[in-house]
Amino acid sequence: MRELSLADTAWYGILAAGALFGLLYVFPSPQVFLAGLNVPLTALIAMVLMIPVFALYAGLGSAMPRMGGDYLYQSRAIHPAVGFTFTFAWEVFMWVTFTTTGGLVVATLGLQPLLFNLGLQWESSALIDAANWFGGANGLLVTTLALTSMAFAVTLRGIGAYRKIQCFLIIPAIVVSNIVLILLLLRSNSSFITQFNEFHQAATGDPNFHATVQAAAERGGFENPSFSFRYTVMFLSVVGLAWYVVFGAQGLLGETKQANNFGRLFRAFAIGGLYVGLVAWVIPTWLFQRMVGNEFMNAYAFAFTNGDVTSPAGATIPSFAMMMTSSPIVSILLALGFIAVGFYFTTCVFLNMTRVLSAMGMDRTIPEWFSRISERFHAPVNAALFYFAVAVALNVLYRFDDEVKNTMVYGGAFTSVGVIAMSGLAGMLFAYRAKHVHEVSPVARHRILGLPLIAVAGAVTFLAAGAVTVMNLIYPELGFTTTAARLLLLLSLVVSAIWFFAYRAWQKRNGVDLDLAFRQLPPE
């Protein structure tokens, strides 16, 4: 049953494309490792590149409005082995880490700064202790496991239950929080310095913490970097998440009304992209940069990363914004949005990936058990159980190994762009390798310079997202060139490929020809 409207799908994508949670990635580490980057400019570049990405996914999605998303597009337009290998390794497996990202958003962007600020205002040591606990390893683990359990429960209730939560809880909280965040970041630099010092005087006893940060940075050898266009472009590695307005087309189009309408699907993505690009990425990061001052922003990032200054309420844009108000109500309204988007982020991974696993089960590239739909819940319960078990196991591992956690968390952002690159390749080949599907699709009548629109959009997407993927693999500044990181990416692909060919051979020996499944679309 198709229960999602195109508006629901647009909002689903807005939330996935960095609505509030994207701020987790933009400060303070990038200012140290990519010194001189300009985050708002990176976001504007990403917005320009959104257009072919949206055309690609609207074209593929309207041609194949089924569950499975990237797996379906790549397996039909490139090759079944490619479709399975990349989506199982870089989506199903790597994206489990987004349950951790959801926990990080709730704990460090929502609860930690909220409780610390309320503790200072109400002179409550219990609230301050709670804030510190949520900012620590145990607090993150408990938060993540709680969110994972809730996401599992929502998945069992079905897409209709999630739609109500999104419409009546998540979206209002996000919109209000976004407005509050922008209003708080409108402070002048002089007003920021005053509020910043007052907050830290109450928190640490230092009445001029602004000067303390600058002095600590100078002692460490800090020099304010000049603008770097190279690093600004390289940061598309992270800000490329803004392209994920198409997230609904990566798993849920089988449950979306009018998903076979190319024009309306493209408009839904475009409107969502304009909103998330400006309201979630460009405006908040530009206002933050303007409020704190470019030099101080870089000095703080340098001193904090080196361990020369502490950050009682967390070193994040939301924590800085919360320092600008003494109103508990304003602080709560700001925090609620981050708590809501953290819950969404954990839940959306379950919703999308259980649909991908179901599609794989229907094609018999993994056991058919994964594709079974519960008669009681009308949901892919088996796939949800599997994903829940993997998520719990990995998050418990992260509690005891920060290196693995950090590699997986950043790897999730990296592989997100890599998957889009492979779907770009699928778009390039779609009109030729899946000609029978393309010719009857809504996108077939659209051409550019005599070439199929889907092929042109696919080529641009493949080049842009592919370039970002290559940058991740060769530039150490992006943090993914360590031996452990490269092994993680390579082994996930190798193991997935071995599984595909071995399982296909086993099925063939038992009289099941998997190749037949890839000559047609799965049933609705």
* 202 belongs to a structural domain: yes
pLDDT tens-place string over residues 25-65: 899 999 999 999 999 999 999 999 999 999 999 999 999 99
* 183 belongs to a structural domain: yes
* 127 belongs to a structural domain: yes
* 333 belongs to a structural domain: yes
Least confident of 221-225, 314-318, 514-518: 514-518
Count up the domains in the chain and report the number: 1
Structure tokens at 382: 């088996």
* 517 belongs to a structural domain: no
Would you state the pLDDT for residue 522?
Answer: 67
* 406 belongs to a structural domain: yes
At 13, which CATH number? 1.20.1740.10
Q: Does residue 81 register a pLDDT over 90?
A: yes
SS (H, E, C) 116-167: HHHHHHHCCHHHHHHHHHHCCHHHHHHHHHHHHHHHHHHHHHCHHHHHHHHH
* 515 belongs to a structural domain: no
Please say whether the beta carbons of 310 and 230 come within 8 A: no
Query: What CA–CA distance (Å, rounded) separates 477 from 419?
Result: 21
pLDDT tens-place string over residues 237-291: 889 888 989 988 788 888 889 999 999 999 999 999 999 999 999 999 999 999 9
Burial class (CB in 10 A: 0-12, 13-18, 19+), 516: exposed
Least confident of 45-59, 328-342, 477-491, 495-509: 477-491
* 280 belongs to a structural domain: yes
Query: What is the percent of the chain with per-residue pLDDT over 70, rounded to a whole number?
Result: 99
In the chain, what is the greatest distance between 2 CA atoms, to the nearest angstrom? 77
Query: What CA–CA distance (Å, rounded) separates 223 from 220?
Result: 9
Print the domain residue range for 309. Answer: 6-510
Three-class DSSP category at 316: coil
Q: Does residue 524 register a pLDDT over 70?
A: no
